[in-house]
Amino acid sequence: MRTRIFQIAVTIAFLLCVGNAYAGTTAPADMMLVAPAGMQARKPDVPFSHTLHAKQGLECKTCHHTWNGASEMRKCGSPGCHDQPGKKDGMSFYKAFHDSRSEKSCVGCHKAAKKAGNIKAPTSCRQCHVKK
């Protein structure tokens, strides 16, 4: 009986610590994903909901894959990240969102989610690039 109570106490303490560790990281406001300055987008900007993605259980590091959990998060189009033009280069802005083979990209993640049964995950151009 004492062992069971100890296990429950340890579990509660762990959950409180984990909760406090992530308490400072809250989802930012919804935003528009836009091409970096100097790049011309061929399709409309994409509305993006951090709140919706957080509710789906995605952690910040899913997309912000170079974030160390403490420093300021960088946007995809930040210098040295996915700030390159073109479609083929793995560091390109386009590829960061459209690489169907990578679950770090929007399209790749949405396709994997759809395959796993999330029928609401958008996978076509028009579902994300909404005309104004």
Nearest of 67, 72, 75 to residue 34 by alpha carbon: 75
CATH of domain 27-64+75-128: 3.90.10.10
Query: Of 19-23, 61-65, 80-84, where does the model show the most confidence?
Result: 61-65
* Predicted confidence band of residue 25 (pLDDT cuts 50, 70, 90): low
Buried b vs exposed e over 47-86: b needs ≥16 C-beta within 10 Å? ebebeebeeeeeebeebbeeeeeeeeeeebbeeebbbbee
- Over its C-alpha atoms, the chain yields an Rg (Å, rounded) of 19
pLDDT of residue 2: 52
Percentage of the chain lying above the pLDDT 70 cut: 81
Scanning the structure block, which residue is given the tokens 């958008």? 122
Backbone angles phi, psi at 84, to 5 degrees: -95, 145
Residue type, 66: T
Write down the H helix ranges in the chain: 2-23, 50-55, 60-63, 93-98, 106-115, 125-128
Least confident range from 69-73, 77-81, 105-109: namely 77-81
Percentage of the chain lying above the pLDDT 90 cut: 31
The rounded distance, in Å, linking the Cα atoms of 39 and 3 is 61
- 66 pLDDT more than 60: yes
Tens of pLDDT, residue by residue over 41-53, are 889 999 999 999 9
* Predicted confidence band of residue 104 (pLDDT cuts 50, 70, 90): confident
pLDDT of residue 124: 92
**Does 3 or 38 have the greater pLDDT score?**
38
